[in-house]
Structure 1
Amino acid sequence: MKAIIVEDKEYIRKGLLNLLGIIDAPVEVIGECESVEEAVIVAKTCKPELVFLDINLADGTAFDFLDQLESIDFKIIFITAYEEYALKALKIGAVDYLLKPVDVEELKIALQKVAKLTAEGQKHQIAKAKQVFNNEGNHIVLSFHDSYQLINLDELIYCESDKGYTTFYCSDGKKHLVSKTLKDFEDRLLEANFQRPHQSFMINMKFVDKYDKSGTIYLKNGTKIPVSSRKKETFLSSLFNWNKK
């Protein structure tokens, strides 16, 4: 199958190319794109049979790209950095998803699944996937050994990272500890108007009560969060911008 990779991070594109070579996949990558705009042009020009498609791109989403095509004459394997998207995929049974960093065994399975998928079947699944992604709401999903925990980001006060673990503190008093670092969640939380004033903390700006010029944030639940000197300017800028909203 002739394929293109639509992914805004070069190292992910190169890593996927490497894995396709390792497993000797029956796939010829004929193009790479890092934006919706580029993807539309390349897809219309090159007529791929398969597209590895990142969910979130610098200038839009995977569905923005698909909406700009007159027809979808290729098969799709979505790529995502966020585990909640993988959970949504389980819910809808959609065309396959690969979670970053891409695992070689999962890549093999995804290629096997997409090869069996009919064009009509994929069309129905993409429509269902789009509905789920557009209507799911402002949530993040935490993965545990035997369960998934859905967190409403509007109710998440702050996160604290320590030695490879992150604790999520919610407004209902509950807290959830996961074996991942803040870095694993940072991009998603920044999209939801969280800020990282310190290496060990990310905070929901709606729960900020006041900022002490000595370098301390006071949250509405009474928690004190330190602001590192390196991140002070960025935090203050976001604080003043938040005040204008």
Structure 2
Amino acid sequence: MLNAIIVDDEEFARSSLYFLLQENCENINVSGIAKSVAEARTLLAQNAIDLVFLDIAMPGENGFELIPQVQQSKAHIIFTTAYDQYALKAIKANALDYLLKPIDIDELKESVNKASRYITMSKNGENRSESLQNLSASLNERNEIRKISLPNGQGYSLVSIDDIIHIEADSNYSVFYLANGDKITVSKVLKEYEEILPDNQFVRIHKSSIVNLNYLKEYNSKNGLEVILKNGGKLAVSRRRASDFADKVRAYTSFDGDKATSN
């Protein structure tokens, strides 16, 4: 059994989530329900909690302000939220779980199962703590995402986006090629990262590849339009993405020859 708390300022949201958990998640024991971050802090201090269902938008302190106490308790968080484009992007970038309201039963079950598996092999607490700290920083600054968490088989690697050279699709996986020569394969499709990464720096040039314009050395049309990266890699640009690619390069460079050469 996992001991959980529900944190939400809306009475209907609290009671409906409690009902869904009671009816569908036999391995969850709801140890307490809080309508504010202050009440949640008390529950975390007084109980051994494994899992926190945490609303984001609440009056006074928002859900993210509970993160330090959750880290201390080493509990796993599932964020519950109405749609907020920036917050969701930051949560996804840090590979953290979330449920959109109104909560879907199947998505709830899936999130609880993932949390259960994670808590069972919870030697990766340090990685998750780093991800939560990065999330807090991203949300405080509300700037572009600068780091993302990538599952690496042992836990999570927190990677600076400036160290990503390019990403290639491999069926339902995405393979990250990093500046230090490492490769990390993640069981998520390329589109998820296309939505997370800043589109003024990362460009989808093909259905199977995204490139970081920082590493663009040359692009030419000798063998059909292709890009040559600073690590020597060569990637095709699809015809339907060629115009968007050219526009992004034009906006990103001054065409002084230092970053890209057009042939």
What displacement does 1:177 show?
Answer: 1.2
Give the total of aligned pairs.
168
Taking a change above 3 Å as real, the CA distance of residues 155 and 99 of structure 1, as seen in their structure-2 partners, is: farther
What displacement does 1:130 show?
Answer: 4.2
Please tell me the residue identity of whatever aligns with 1:155: D
Who is 1:228 aligned against? 238
Query: 2:221 matched to 1:185?
Result: no
Contact 1:86 1:99 in 2 (8 A): no
2:63 and 2:193 mapped to 1: Cα distance? 29
Taking a change above 3 Å as real, the CA distance of residues 233 and 133 of structure 1, as seen in their structure-2 partners, is: same
Who is 1:173 aligned against? 181
Who is 2:210 aligned against? 202
SS in 1 for 2:176: strand
RMSD between aligned alpha carbons? 4.3
Who is 1:85 aligned against? 94
What displacement does 1:159 show?
Answer: 0.5
Query: 2:149 matched to 1:141?
Result: yes
What displacement does 1:24 show?
Answer: 8.7
Consecutive aligned runs of 4 or more in structure 1 exceeding 2 Å deviation = 1-4, 19-25, 73-87, 99-103, 128-137
Structure 2 stretches lacking a partner, 5+ long: 1-7, 23-53, 65-78, 82-87, 116-133, 256-263
> Could you tell me the TM-score, scaled by structure 2's length?
0.51
Taking a change above 3 Å as real, the CA distance of residues 162 and 234 of structure 1, as seen in their structure-2 partners, is: same
Largest Rg, 1 or 2: 2
Contact 2:200 2:252 in 1 (8 A): no
Please tell me the residue identity of whatever aligns with 1:156: I
Structure 1 stretches lacking a partner, 5+ long: 5-15, 26-50, 54-61, 88-96, 111-127
> Could you tell me the TM-score, scaled by structure 1's length?
0.54
Out of 68, 72, 75, the residue aligned to residue 60 of structure 2 is 72
Who is 2:108 aligned against? 104
Who is 2:36 aligned against? none
2:62 and 2:186 mapped to 1: Cα distance? 37
Who is 1:218 aligned against? 228
Contact 2:206 2:241 in 1 (8 A): yes
Out of 235, 241, 247, the residue aligned to residue 237 of structure 1 is 247
What displacement does 1:235 show?
Answer: 0.3
What displacement does 1:164 show?
Answer: 1.1
